[in-house]
Amino acid sequence: MEEKISVLISEEEVENRIKEMAEQLSKMYKGGTVHLIGILKGSVMFLARLAMHMTVPVTMDFISISSYGNGTSSSGTINMKKELDQDIEGKEVVIVEDILDSGRTLNYVMAYLKSKNPESLKVITLLDKPERRVFEVDLAMTGFQIPDRFVVGYGLDYAEKYRNLPYIGVLD
Ligand code: IMP
Ligand code: MG
């Protein structure tokens, strides 16, 4: 079945905002190296565009977590499906996430990464649904705050589809 999707944030708006975020991050970490950690698979498009616009040296790694099933509501359980490849001790780490919803995923990931002794640990997210927060998460930067709607595109999926849309859309 094909779902109907309407544009919430256009491709141009997303690109412009990511560029701004990259510039801001580059200023924050001037003189250093930023180790970006993406949470698969949703953060891939955001992380790639962000990294391309950054002007400080960047390294990257990915972890994979599952907290959602194939539907549109959280299953409430989290498991780690792919660990870090590289040690993060002493590194300036930035977790890159597609969307902050209940906060369950980032809470878990933050605690996990903190225990590995990075020099610093910050979180940035492309999208934030503040109305849905259950677990508090301290965000260093947010792309866009959005209403409590299920969104797809720019890495975000509905049953693994629509990750490749170059804009943020809403499922009707
Ligand atoms: P949280 O653990 O409830 O904060 O959920 C975060 C994760 O749920 C995100 O990384 C997404 O993978 C997924 N998610 C939350 N809201 C949406 C949405 O609107 N569209 C697609 N995925 C979502
Ligand atoms: Mg995700």
H-assigned helices in 54-121 = 104-114
Ligand nearest to the CA of 63: 2
Question: Given pLDDT bands bounded at 50, 70 and 90, which one contains residue 107?
Answer: very high
List, chain by chain if needed, residues with CB within 6 Å of any ligand 1 atom: 42, 67-68, 74, 97-105, 150-152, 156
The pLDDT of residue 72: 54
Give the distance (Å) from ligand 1 centre to CA of residue 33.
28
The pLDDT of residue 71: 53
Per residue in 55-99, pLDDT tens?
999 999 999 987 655 455 555 678 889 999 999 999 999 999 999
Query: Residue 89 has which token pair?
Result: 């001790």
Nearest to 163 by CA among 46, 17, 4, 38: 46
Distances (CA, A) of 87 to 31, 44, 62: 21, 20, 12
Ligand 1 atom 9 nearest Cα: 99
Give the distance (Å) from ligand 2 centre to CA of residue 8.
19
Q: Which helix (H) or strand (E) holds 35?
A: strand 34-40
Q: Name the phi and psi angles at 96, rounded to 5.
A: -115, 120
Tell me the C-alpha distance between 72 and 124, whole Å. 22
Ligand nearest to the CA of 102: 1
Nearest to 28 by CA among 98, 165, 151, 124: 124
Distances (CA, A) of 4 to 49, 138, 151, 154, 171: 26, 34, 12, 16, 6
The pLDDT of residue 27: 98
Rounded to 5 degrees, what angle do the CA atoms 153, 58, 28 make? 90
Per residue in 117-160, pLDDT tens?
999 999 999 999 999 999 999 999 999 999 999 999 999 999 99
